[in-house]
Amino acid sequence: MSSFFTLPASQRKRKREDRVGAPVTKKRGVTSKGAPQTGDKSRRQGDRDESISGSESEGDERSEVAAGSDDESLSGSDEDETAAERRLRLAEQYLHNVREEVDEVGFDAADIDRDLIAERLKEDVDESKGRAYRLVASELSLSSASHSYFRADTNTTTSIAVHYPFAYTVSKDKTLIKWELCTPSSATFSMQNGNTLESSRPLRKKPKKVRWARGLRPGRDGGEKQGHIGEILTVAVSPSGQFVATGGTDNRLIIWDAETLTPLKTFTYHRDSVSGLAFTQRISSSSSGEQLFSASFDRTIKIWSLSPDAHAYVETLFGHQDHVLGVASMMSDQCVSVGARDRTARLWKVIDETQLVFRAGGMSKNCQYSPNSTDCVAALPPTHFVTGSDSGAISLWSVHKKKPLHTIYEAHGLDPLPPPEKLSAEADADAQAEKTANVRQTPRWITALATVPGTNIVLSGSWDGWIRAWEVSEDKRRLRPLGCVGGKELPMELPLPLSNGTSHIPADTIPMNTDEDDKSHISPPLRGIVNGISVYERRGIDSVKPGISPLSTSSKKDKKSSTAKSHETDVKGLCIVAALGKEHRLGRWKVFDSNDSKNVGCGDVGGRNGAVVFEVPFSS
């Protein structure tokens, strides 16, 4: 029997061409029957090849026919429709389906309300954690701010804290007072053609004195009397509004019931005066209570946990080399503090058991005053904070850099020099001039700092009669003056930062409103040393009111809810409350007397003790 291997070479070559050509003809739809054959042997070989590959060719033909039918069906439906028409047809079909679903089910107003509330709560959480950063400083109408002075028969007011609608003040005569803030109405401020018009009605009423406590008082259980036996230097109120904490020169930290001002617990763990207090903005999910940081002259910071069931000491932080004068909460388990004459600010990470040290710079080329003491601090969570020093400098810091991002020197100006006859005991005028030739002006210390969480607003206070507002740039690398709260002048533009990354602003580039040669300026609204600033942001009736902590009881919750409803207002702006005093809160080394009053343009009268509340509306 002949085979491929017994055939002559000429025939084998022709067979190869036929075998190679067969699949090609199949792809074109031509079977092997159409292939030319020569000789009987060639025909028999072709039949055998066809029988072997017949099944495959039939399968290929069937698949090609099926694919062809599918292509015809697809092209048949879209042969007269363009891509744009097809998208339009699908969109119309989708809208039709949505209308049918709405007609059958309908809208649920409760679901919409829940969505709005959930969105607002998410915004609040983002702001508290620093994820939200609202640029609202440019919207403040500082010149149209109304102010109201209020006081009690007390000594120097040393500190103030606000949990709307209540404010708490403390003084050097061991007094804690609870005030109820009044709510401005929309008729107070009216805008027409971009100008603020004053209403014929009074701008606002003074806060109402609700409760007060002085000295020793019986506790909740009627046991041993508790209270301060020395000057109270600082006060703080918890985010839930349930607790008030005070500290003073008697080394005591006392926890009070905010509703009745009844002392709940007295801690004597500090070995020196308690100078600063700060609550965390939010209650930690990993803790059953509210976290409190306390700073002291004993160079330590202590952490406390407060809850309705018990109040407990947690931990002590060591590191500062001088009195710790201020502390601010960055976030849960993190705080930043300043250490007076060690000229450092420290960021404490409690969980990691670490601290970051930030050292204030020395004398600058553009400023002849170097900081000797860092006294104030305010947090801009989660990564920035602001400090103030005795040289009048305000510095913006980042936790990622050991040097300040931006520094404004002499932010509140300089005190003018007294006449030579008061500086020297010499009777001769030439001798007086020689003795006082090297006497320099004294910068006004930064005595208070405050920030509005989630915004780019920073407030500072000194003894020049003004509370000054500053704007943090969008990239959080610069400070820009906005003006004075209640002032009429507009801030001047600041020069660009220098090559070393900081800015040095001469005092004469910032409007002081205290130039005695300019008789057109208005008198400062304050007359005394600003010992503390607290801020509350009004967001209008459409905003969600501050929530009540789940730690509260139901009866207190209902009472607080009714109080909040009675203080609803459609006014949007800032409520700024400042503590005033004739003396500095830490001592009598600075007393606001008649000379200071004349230097700031307030006449011959001296300072006064008490507090002042400003209502600053938003211009839009």
Write the Ramachandran bin of 449: left for phi over 0, alpha for psi from -120 to 50, otherwise beta. Answer: beta
Tokens representing 240 are 């839930």
Mean pLDDT value of segment 279-290: 72
Handedness of CA 467, 468, 472, 478 (dihedral sign): negative
Residue by residue, DSSP assigns 207-221 as PEEEEEEESEEE-TT
d(CA 460, CA 162): 17
Question: For 22-26, 120-124, 286-290, 396-400, which range has the lowest pLDDT when averaged over its residues?
Answer: 22-26
Q: pLDDT over 90 for what percent of the chain? A: 40
pLDDT tens per residue, range 186-219: 545 544 334 444 444 444 578 999 999 998 988 8
Helix (H) or strand (E) holding 53: helix 40-78
Instruction: Give the Cβ contact number of residue 305 at 10 Å.
Output: 17
Question: Which single residue is written with the structure tokens 């159409």?
Answer: 34
Would you call the peptide bond into 165 cis, given omega within 30 degrees of 0 as the criterion?
yes
- As to burial, measured by CB atoms within 10 angstroms (0-12 exposed, 13-18 middle, 19+ buried), residue 253 is buried
What is the phi/psi pair of residue 485, to 5°? -70, 115
Q: 529-539 and 479-484 as β-strands: parallel, antiparallel, unpaired?
A: unpaired
d(CA 199, CA 191): 11
Enter the pTM of the model: 0.73
SS3 594: helix
User: 172 CB contacts (<8 Å, ≥6 apart)?
Assistant: 154, 155, 156, 158, 231, 232, 581, 583, 585
SS3 330: strand
d(CA 450, CA 160): 11
Is the pLDDT reported for residue 47 higher than 90? Answer: no
The stretches of 357-445 forming alpha helices (DSSP H) are 420-423, 429-435
Residue by residue, DSSP assigns 163-232 as ETTEEEEEETTSEEEEEE-----TTTEEEETTEEEE-SS-S-PPPEEEEEEESEEE-TTS-SEEE-SS-E
Q: Please, are residues 505 and 492 in contact by the beta-carbon 8 Å criterion?
A: no
Mean pLDDT value of segment 77-95: 81
d(CA 485, CA 577): 11
pLDDT tens per residue, range 494-533: 443 443 444 444 443 444 443 333 433 467 888 899 999 9
25: amino acid identity, one letter? T
Question: Which single residue is written with the structure tokens 């389906």?
Answer: 97
Q: Which residues of 373-390 are buried (b: 16+ CB within 10 A; e: fewer)?
A: bbbbbbbbbebbbbbbbb
Question: For 64-68, 104-108, 150-154, 585-589, which range has the lowest pLDDT when averaged over its residues?
Answer: 64-68
Domain ranges of the chain: 9-76, 137-411+446-617
pLDDT given at position 495: 42
Domain 137-411+446-617 has CATH 3.90.730.10: no
Q: Please, are residues 159 and 586 in contact by the beta-carbon 8 Å criterion?
A: no
Q: pLDDT over 70 for what percent of the chain? A: 68
pLDDT tens per residue, range 465-499: 899 999 999 999 999 999 999 875 444 444 434 43
The winner for highest mean pLDDT among 16-25, 276-285, 430-439 is 430-439
pLDDT given at position 458: 96
Mean pLDDT value of segment 430-434: 85
pLDDT tier for residue 568 given thresholds of 50, 70 and 90: low
More confident residue, 551 or 436: 436
d(CA 384, CA 395): 11
SS3 43: helix
CA-closest candidate to residue 249, choices 232, 267, 234, 235: 232
pLDDT given at position 24: 46
Question: For the chain, what is the mean pLDDT?
Answer: 77
Write the Ramachandran bin of 344: left for phi over 0, alpha for psi from -120 to 50, otherwise beta. Answer: beta
d(CA 371, CA 343): 8
Is the pLDDT reported for residue 302 higher than 80? Answer: yes
SS3 126: helix
Question: Which single residue is written with the structure tokens 């503590």?
Answer: 579
- As to burial, measured by CB atoms within 10 angstroms (0-12 exposed, 13-18 middle, 19+ buried), residue 436 is middle
Helix (H) or strand (E) holding 13: helix 9-27
Residue by residue, DSSP assigns 294-308 as EEETTSEEEEEEE-S
pLDDT tens per residue, range 381-417: 889 999 999 999 999 999 999 999 999 999 998 988 8
Q: Please, are residues 426 and 435 in contact by the beta-carbon 8 Å criterion?
A: yes
Is the pLDDT reported for residue 362 higher than 70? Answer: no
What is the phi/psi pair of residue 340, to 5°? 55, -120
Q: Sheet holding 394-398: strands in order across?
A: 374-380, 384-389, 394-398, 406-408
CA-closest candidate to residue 23, choices 62, 52, 63: 52
